[in-house]
Structure 1
């Protein structure tokens, strides 16, 4: 009888332990760190093939997670940041005005930002760096869009004379107040890094840190400590300083003891500004931006792949196996959706354009859940479905096989009219859904 009683006690203890352990582990939400370069080209990091620029920290990050080679986003600043912060294509979001200097638009209250969603899920939320999603009214600023803290610029670093004819001061903000104007842009990457490291050091409980660099957006700047050090010239100095910053953030996570419980996402907002407008050539020449698209056609502001396809890396120990490289189609809205899933956050009720990548990233699914991606610029300019991409902006359809011809050199439209018709139909449906026109008719 006593033996039966003892066995019952042991059984109850084991059952209690079994129930308690998963609940305990489930409560340990992963931290989320997003490192977002500005105008870094697909071919700029060493792990994406640059022959001269050294990026050991970005390369190490890739080796410890998954390096994505077919990651696409908006082809310039605001659309890509919209996709990241809201999980939606830009035409769905009613900004009601521009978001650069003198722009009166901003994120409406109807959008649930990534920071708002994670804050509701119990995260401390911090932003360092460039916002570019509205500033004229304080309600548009990051600290009123879900972030507990913000130190950075309201928009791109070129919104000053002589590049932009504006009298609006470009200043650094802390919270909802401009705290520094004018300021020296040379040490900006260093200052952002110090701010980010300090936030990690002080963190208690799960946190979301969004570090949005100003560089290598023109006009490029680098600190004295790293000037003249790269074989890639001034532009190489700038990229290598961003890489230094990535290393400092990763080291801070390790020192804090949270690296193994942190999802780190590194990417650029769009490709390099190769075909820049005349306003950017007033004080320099085209050589001041030596960003590389690698083998890709086009650059920032275009819907050939050199504009929207960017370097992108996810490291998430215990979930994402190390050392992976994948050419599966992934889009920026997927990062929003994946971060919400990781943090146990509640989804907004409106339409999202992203997918939860967790099954794919963890290896439980062989393929990315993304079937298609729509490229918006002057209207809807292109769509990719599976291996095929249709671009209509020139008026003459351009059809590319993104598996055998990711460089968009061979137009297959004439030989595959049925495929063109199918993709054009998809473009028409999406254009109607988001109230824009299909470019090129």
Structure 2
């Protein structure tokens, strides 16, 4: 019996024993897109209100030392595989654009299907037989699984791949490049294409990066409104099933939303921002997108409460990576800081707090999405489960996206696949001793850009690779200097050398979960 079959059998036996346990909650994971940690009120945002997400923190636990990725696809890869994205395959994603190219060519439906499947089968990254994904952990624990939004890890997928990832039911985009528009002509539901009324643009109504198009431009049916209705229908359907059959399986629902990824587009401005003279049109749109996501969180929570499912459901909120600017200002390095002091141009660490971002979406941190500074990778994480997770609590526990897989397995009282980088933080959630902890977290950046990769230690020391060929590395202590204003590499060359050795060893490293007997 091979590894995949044996581990899945082990999961199945555990799930058979536990599937009717009263303390196994439904789980909803809401995964925002490019939402900087500074965009939430509970993390310090002052201008944009996020009352529903903030309420999750008020009624649950907020993490203050949590890391995602630096780009959409690898961040999803690490979440769904339970591995850090320095491992082999972490940046080996499919390429975007095929679906839109075929639609512009006007190919026939049979040819469309043939070319689509051929690309997936011949040019996508193969999935080994012994690969075990996040949703499969839930399935083998006796859970139903559902996904709504940006499907797969990126950038192109199909029905066979989505189901291979472990999703029993799904609604969303097969192509991440189409997610840059909010008015797709069609979406996919369990392998079937369905059209959206009033949307006829192949590019899904994608706006310019200027964000100055009239509100409502792009189409008639906004994708996020489709997703929230599908999510609410799924929750209602589950409640109806439970009413008819108390043995109904619990569910794991994953919502990788497009919000607030740009270019900015919104059906209507939120009334809180429509007449705010402090904001440009693009900024008003962006604020409204953040507020829509918050409103959708509120709708989910309201539905759970009205259906009597509130105490039986754990809700988790996070974001894939750090903040990005889709509304201005331009990414330029200032000559002076707001207090009049000269900026250190040798470091060239662009930060929203220094350069006029009205929202300061990175919360004072250096860097944005794609950069290995804190603003590109430090993410919000909030978890709420009434009577299990203490209300209004915070933690500095050191954790990352890839820890959710082990946490989910721990929550379901089922064994996690061996060899994963994932470490469960369920003990922290339940105020129990956290005996297992990371010594370091690895963040990879496949781009040859400023701040390519990083190694963060539990003791706060963080090494950033700036230019490997020039042996250019920066060193910070983020427990004392989370804004990364003080590069200490020259003061601690031995520490740089030791952390560099660990980082280089982890980059492009083999998958230990594939070699485990």
User: How high is the TM-score relative to the length of structure 1?
Assistant: 0.82
Give CA-to-partner distance per residue, 1:388-420, whole Å, 9 cap, x none: 001122342211011110111101111112211
| Structure 2 residue 407 is matched with structure 1 residue 338 | yes
- Residue of structure 2 in register with 1:347 after alignment: 416
Quick check: 1:121–1:346 contact (8 Å CA) kept in 2? no
Deviation at 1:80, TM superposition (A): 1.0
Of 124, 129, 133, 2:149 maps to 129
Distance in 2 separating the partners of 1:119 and 1:353: 20
Distance in 2 separating the partners of 1:68 and 1:212: 20
- Residue of structure 1 in register with 2:325 after alignment: 274
| Structure 2 residue 405 is matched with structure 1 residue 385 | no
Distance in 1 separating the partners of 2:326 and 2:264: 16
Deviation at 1:45, TM superposition (A): 1.0
Distance in 2 separating the partners of 1:310 and 1:337: 19
- Residue of structure 2 in register with 1:259 after alignment: 310
| Structure 2 residue 512 is matched with structure 1 residue 409 | no
- Residue of structure 2 in register with 1:422 after alignment: 498
| Structure 2 residue 290 is matched with structure 1 residue 239 | yes
Distance in 1 separating the partners of 2:268 and 2:326: 28
Are the structure 2 counterparts of residues 389 and 225 from structure 1 closer, same or farther at C-alpha, using a change threshold of 3 Å? closer
Matches within 5 A, 1:244-323: 244-274=295-325, 292-323=361-392
56-65 vs 335-344, which deviates more? 335-344
Deviation at 1:155, TM superposition (A): 3.6
Are the structure 2 counterparts of residues 185 and 208 from structure 1 closer, same or farther at C-alpha, using a change threshold of 3 Å? farther
Quick check: 2:25–2:250 contact (8 Å CA) kept in 1? yes
Distance in 1 separating the partners of 2:463 and 2:357: 33
Quick check: 1:32–1:207 contact (8 Å CA) kept in 2? yes
- Residue of structure 2 in register with 1:202 after alignment: 237
Are the structure 2 counterparts of residues 177 and 93 from structure 1 closer, same or farther at C-alpha, using a change threshold of 3 Å? farther
Quick check: 1:89–1:333 contact (8 Å CA) kept in 2? yes
| Structure 2 residue 181 is matched with structure 1 residue 113 | no
- Residue of structure 1 in register with 2:424 after alignment: 356
Are the structure 2 counterparts of residues 317 and 247 from structure 1 closer, same or farther at C-alpha, using a change threshold of 3 Å? same
Give CA-to-partner distance per residue, 1:212-260, whole Å, 9 cap, x none: 1111111222233736746562111110000000001111111221211
Distance in 1 separating the partners of 2:498 and 2:130: 33
Quick check: 2:19–2:141 contact (8 Å CA) kept in 1? no
| Structure 2 residue 75 is matched with structure 1 residue 80 | yes
Deviation at 1:46, TM superposition (A): 1.0
Deviation at 1:133, TM superposition (A): 2.3
SS of the residue aligned with 2:296?
helix
- Residue of structure 2 in register with 1:190 after alignment: 225
Quick check: 2:150–2:179 contact (8 Å CA) kept in 1? no
Deviation at 1:178, TM superposition (A): 2.7
Quick check: 1:218–1:289 contact (8 Å CA) kept in 2? no
Quick check: 1:41–1:270 contact (8 Å CA) kept in 2? yes
Are the structure 2 counterparts of residues 219 and 275 from structure 1 closer, same or farther at C-alpha, using a change threshold of 3 Å? closer
RMSD across aligned C-alpha pairs, in angstroms? Answer: 3.2
SS of the residue aligned with 2:420?
coil
Distance in 2 separating the partners of 1:46 and 1:325: 15
Distance in 2 separating the partners of 1:90 and 1:178: 32
Distance in 2 separating the partners of 1:185 and 1:418: 59
Quick check: 2:88–2:510 contact (8 Å CA) kept in 1? no
- Residue of structure 2 in register with 1:60 after alignment: 55
Quick check: 1:133–1:140 contact (8 Å CA) kept in 2? no
- Residue of structure 2 in register with 1:3 after alignment: none
SS of the residue aligned with 1:433?
coil
Deviation at 1:304, TM superposition (A): 0.5
Q: How many residues align?
A: 399
Deviation at 1:289, TM superposition (A): 10
Quick check: 1:160–1:170 contact (8 Å CA) kept in 2? no
- Residue of structure 2 in register with 1:149 after alignment: 169
- Residue of structure 1 in register with 2:260 after alignment: 216
| Structure 2 residue 86 is matched with structure 1 residue 51 | no
Q: Which runs of 5+ in 1 are unaligned?
A: 1-21, 162-168, 281-285, 436-441
Give CA-to-partner distance per residue, 1:102-141, whole Å, 9 cap, x none: 3742561432121112111111111111124254553212
Quick check: 1:65–1:314 contact (8 Å CA) kept in 2? yes
SS of the residue aligned with 1:129?
strand
Give CA-to-partner distance per residue, 1:328-368, whole Å, 9 cap, x none: 3210011121012112334224x211101111222212687
User: How high is the TM-score relative to the length of structure 2?
Assistant: 0.70
- Residue of structure 2 in register with 1:166 after alignment: none
